[in-house]
């Protein structure tokens, strides 16, 4: 996507604006906590934009994310998230080394809300391993359950965690299924076809 698309779609192109007040009033998801050697923090729009832009312009993420943007555009995108109540950009680290970009967002405020019966406190999750040294090391199946557990812990009102990988992303779809997500079908969105998954909270938790 080129810079011209930002003006046409808005800085946060997936965020819905015509929302019921009950949905609008829900704050952005809180920051989860990960056990050592992992950690996760809010991204810094100024300090992290170049790093994330480099990750997203890597061949393994260009097609899956379609966010191969310049550093200035990433700075605007991160800043818009941090200043609003729709989503939060996060950086995951291993022993202090940044390696994964994570977005948590309110699914009821996102375009995927049109594809299922969204609850105002549902949390959507996007994750991309940016540092290629961490790819194919089995980290995603280890890290994702820990991240999921923390999301449900820090956001007690969250009933479901939503995933919406590209329908062609077999690895991401497999991980969604491994953690126990329910498949809610494939849906045509503005710029792609997604596979929608929902992971319900364990009733015992």
Instruction: Give the sheet arrangement for strand 97-106, strand by strand.
Output: 38-42, 87-94, 97-106, 123-129, 160-163, 193-200, 182-188
Pairing of strands 160-163, 123-129: parallel
The burial of 93, by beta-carbon neighbours within 10 Å (0-12 exposed, 13-18 middle, 19 or more buried), is given as: middle
CA distance 22 to 28: 13
Residue 131 corresponds to which tokens in the numbers above? 């540092």
188 is catalytic: no
Of 48, 110, 122, 164, which one is the catalytic site residue?
Answer: 164
Catalytic residues: 164
């Amino acid at each position: 996507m080129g810079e011209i698309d930002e003006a046409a779609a808005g800085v946060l192109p997936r965020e819905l604006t015509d929302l019921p007040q009950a949905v609008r009033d829900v704050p952005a998801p809180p920051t989860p906590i990960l056990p050592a050697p992992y950690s996760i923090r809010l991204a810094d729009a100024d300090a992290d934009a170049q790093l994330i832009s480099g990750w997203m312009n890597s061949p393994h993420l260009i097609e899956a994310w379609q966010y191969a943007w310049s550093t200035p555009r990433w700075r605007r995108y991160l800043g818009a998230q941090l200043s609003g109540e729709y989503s939060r950009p996060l950086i995951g680290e291993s022993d202090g080394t940044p390696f994964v970009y994570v977005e948590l967002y309110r699914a009821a405020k996102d375009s995927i809300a049109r594809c299922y019966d969204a609850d105002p406190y549902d949390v959507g999750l996007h994750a991309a391993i940016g540092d290629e040294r961490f790819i194919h090391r089995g980290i995603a199946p280890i890290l994702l359950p820990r991240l999921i557990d923390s999301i449900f812990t820090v956001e007690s009102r969250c009933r479901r965690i939503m995933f919406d990988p590209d329908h062609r992303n077999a690895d991401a779809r497999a991980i969604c299924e491994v953690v126990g997500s329910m498949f809610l079908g494939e849906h045509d969105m503005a710029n792609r076809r997604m596979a929608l998954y929902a992971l319900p909270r364990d009733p015992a938790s």
